[in-house]
A and B are shown apart, each in its own frame.
Chain A
Amino acid sequence: MSDLYLIFKNLTRRKLRLSLTLFAIFVAFLIFGVLSSFNKAFNSGIELSADDRMVVVNKINFTQPLPIAYVNKARAIEGIDVLTWCNWFGGYYQDPKNFVAAMACDAETLLDVYPEIVLPEDQKKAFMANRQGLIAGQSIAAKYGWKVGDRIPMNSNIFSQKTGGSAWDFDVEGIYTGSTEQFDTNSVYFHYKYFDESRSFGKDFAGWLILRTTDPALNDQVANTIDTMFANSFYETSTDSEKAFNKAFIAQIGNIAMIVTSVVGAAFFTILLIVGNTMVLAIRERTGEIAVMKTLGFPAARIFKLVLGESLLLSLIGGLLGIGAAWLIIGAMKAALAGILPTLVLTPDVALTALAIMVGLGFLTGIVPALSAHRLNIITAMSRQ
């Protein structure tokens, strides 16, 4: 009789209790998988940011504009490889509820600054050549059914056209994908030139500049040079690494990581109590049996292994089912939540963390009964019967 067979037989002798305990573990890992993926998606902006990419914004706040003249002044600074600029459009499609993350950017430099934006060569060329052209991420294009070649109107909740009205016409020239699955494909980019010439106010200003340094080691130096260059002007700047900028932005929403950690912690604490108690009980019920096994010559170490193995197996089965279900749920939610959390995926590192927790849980819930089974004195156990 192999040990695994024994463990399996022990585990399955009370089917109802087994399924209830498994279900409790399943729920905890389901919560862990789903919430951790949400947390990851929220933080993907930090994780995916490039080390050499920096953001220049108005020192008062990033919603305040910067003069477009800063572009050429900043470009001359040593250590800058490439620089682009964007302006928030405040877009919506057809109805104000259909929010579109649309930005007017310098088309020539945009793709150099964001190599994550993957676009077929012909679409890239077409976008460059058409000043009313637009490129849309595949997730937003799918949401509104946009295809290459479509001409679409898009409204702004901030800007209006010189000719009146808040609708601009665009040609969908490209649909981009991300170089990684987590890259946000929910945004839309179009030509700053077209936007700037046609808007009724704010001309010759940009929302922010984005640049890549020739070497991340030069980041601080470049930031200082830029901010000093424009200090004491009417439009002072604040230059940060993309990572720091995104981090501050996510912190504005709230301490999501703390909420997730607390909830997941609470869920695991609960199952630790439930599973721990069940294991103690299950082993206590088997006191007589363990005494018999010891009498038959099973070494204490083997009994110890059997009990610990049982709790580990329990935790692994429940946990793997839970993570599997979380994976399915996240997959199903991805499309529905593309607008809010475009980068929602259950990543392998979440699954690996879950696996580590499963082992930890199995160990913690099994160690006490395993030790008491190990120590069990045959005489006392038999006389207790």
Chain B
Amino acid sequence: MGSLISQINAVVAMNVKSLPQRAWMSAATVFAVAIVVAVLLAFLAMANGFQATVAGTGARDVAIAMRQGAQAEVNSVLMKEQVDLLSAGPGIAKNETGPIVSAELYVIVDGIKKASDTKANLPLRGLSEAGMKMRGDLKIIEGRMFQPGTNELIVGVGALKEFEGFELGRELTFARSRWTVVGVFSMDGKVAESELWADIGSVQSLFQRGNSFQTVRLKLDDPAALEQLKAYNEADPRLKLDIKSEADYFADQASGMSDLIMYLGWPLGIAMAFGALAGALNTMYTSVASRAREIATLRAIGFGGTAAFVGTLAESMVLALLGGLIGAIAAFLFFDGITASTLGGSFTQVVFSFKLSPALIWQAAVLALIIGFIGGVFPAWRAARLPVVVAFRAA
């Protein structure tokens, strides 16, 4: 047994050390695997980043209510009476001023997307103090908060970064009314960072919404209280709204787009992996052929077929692993952290960053190793069974 292991060690070392002799073929395999891994990781990082931004947004103990069938905040319409009625429901957390609820408007305005220099849909959210308090991780990082009752607005860091026209101090004109950007806010990387926020009353009058709203957020005593509130809502024919936890709402919003990216990324990655596999097989068969005399010599002096097998397989795995490593580093350098924006579930832009994670890198590494394994195992089989005499003759 010991001699088998030392045989294997000797052959593996010999194969790996002689790689430079087959430099071009080997480099082609390494690059092919690197490209597959980098492309796959780019897609996975995109899906992951979008998912993290959107799905990470919602709180479990905040309920969001919309008109039945509305599906997204932008479609919903709620009347003041419905908001009041729902606020009187059970399970809602209270403070000194009463139940903690935030009735909000969500309208779309144009911004200019910097990447393409074209108009893009940005959400302008009208909300009150209660709504801001409900979002615990809101931070004003520049300027100040808007004054209630004025045409002032604050802009999320994501919207500021990707779109033109919302710089601090900038004046905007919407339908004859002038608005001023007075502050920049962050919210721990959540979707709201792609939004513009202003006072609910000002937005209602700008968009002639009277005393209507689009959604209402209700702070719950605890996540379990959602069921009570739902039952209350179902029992009243004046309500019959769609109520979900904010966490569920955003998870739904995230799923479509990140699934789409995943469904594009994996088949592409696998298709490209097949291409790279063909290259790896070619390289390894060539390697076996060029080492035929060497293998035959080893066999002649008593090395077993197993050593030749493992040696060839190891060579292939080393190439694939090297490729995987280069691909992962390239993906990390070029893609991790770059920001992009796309049209989200509410028909507005969502700004997100590509995000690599150890789990994703592991998935890509597995793909690289599979290429290395399959690309090595068949040629290794040939190496192990190479009849000594034929090998000498061929060489």
Contact = CB atoms under 8 A, between A and B. Distances in A.
Interface of A: 16-17, 20-21, 23-24, 27-28, 30-31, 35, 59-61, 63-64, 90, 92, 96, 155-158, 160, 166, 201, 232-236, 247-248, 251-255, 263, 266-267, 269-271, 273-274, 276-278, 280-281
A270 B278 contact: no
B14 interface: no
Interface in B161-180: 174-176
B176 A61 contact: no
Given A27-B271, A31-B268, A270-B279, A277 B109 contact: no
Contacts of B276: 24, 270, 274
A155 B67 CA distance: 13
Given A23-B275, A31-B271, A64 B24 contact: no
B174 A60 contact: yes
Contact of B109 (A61, A90, A201): A61
A16 B285 contact: yes
Given A253-B343, A271-B275, A281-B25, A92 B69 contact: yes
A235 B206 CA distance: 11
A228 to B, nearest CB: 15
Contact of B175 (A17, A60, A281): A60
Contact of A252 (B24, B113, B174, B176): B113
Interface in B270-304: 271-272, 274-276, 278-279, 281-283, 285-286
Q: Which of A158, A234, A255 gathers most chain B CB within 10 Å?
A: A158
B120 interface: yes
A157 B343 contact: no
A248 B70 contact: no
Given A23-B274, A232-B176, A248-B120, A274 B110 contact: no
A270 B35 contact: yes
A59 B176 CA distance: 11
B36 A252 contact: no
Contact of B278 (A24, A30, A156, A247): A24
B74 interface: yes
Q: Which of A31, A35, A155, A157 gathers most chain B CB within 10 Å?
A: A157
Interface residues of B, number: 53
A16 B272 CA distance: 20
Interface in B201-236: 207
B32 interface: yes
B71 A63 contact: no
A63 B69 contact: no
B105 to A, nearest CB: 13
A61 B268 contact: no
A252 B174 CA distance: 21
A27 B278 contact: yes
A20 B75 contact: no
Q: Which of B39, B115, B118, B279 gathers most chain A CB within 10 Å?
A: B279
Given A254-B340, A255-B116, A273-B279, 4 more contacts: A63-B347, A253-B343, A263-B268, A274-B28
Contact of A251 (B74, B113, B272): B113
Contacts of A247: 118
Nearest to A201: B77
A275 B71 CA distance: 50
Nearest to B112: A248
A274 to B, nearest CB: 4
A201 B75 CA distance: 13
Interface string B46-58: 0000000000000
A261 B268 CA distance: 13
A252 B25 contact: no
Nearest to A166: B69
B271 A30 contact: yes
Given A157-B75, A277-B28, A20 B282 contact: yes
B69 A254 contact: no
Interface in B7-30: 24-25, 27-28
Contact of B36 (A59, A156, A253, A270): A270
Given A31-B271, A31-B272, A234-B175, A274 B282 contact: yes
Contact of B74 (A16, A17, A63): A63
Given A61-B110, A266-B38, A157 B176 contact: no
B349 interface: yes
Nearest to B270: A27
Interface string B94-122: 00000000000001111001011011110
A31 B268 CA distance: 7
Contacts of B108: 61, 63-64
A277 to B, nearest CB: 5
Nearest to B30: A273
A96 B75 CA distance: 12
Given A27-B274, A248-B118, A280 B75 contact: no
B304 to A, nearest CB: 25
Interface string B65-90: 00111111011010000000000000
Nearest to B113: A251
A251 B282 contact: no
A21 B175 contact: no
B71 A157 contact: yes
Contacts of B341: 254
B381 interface: no
Nearest to A273: B28
Contacts of B120: 248, 251-252
A366 B31 CA distance: 20
Given A24-B275, A64-B108, A277-B24, A17 B282 contact: yes
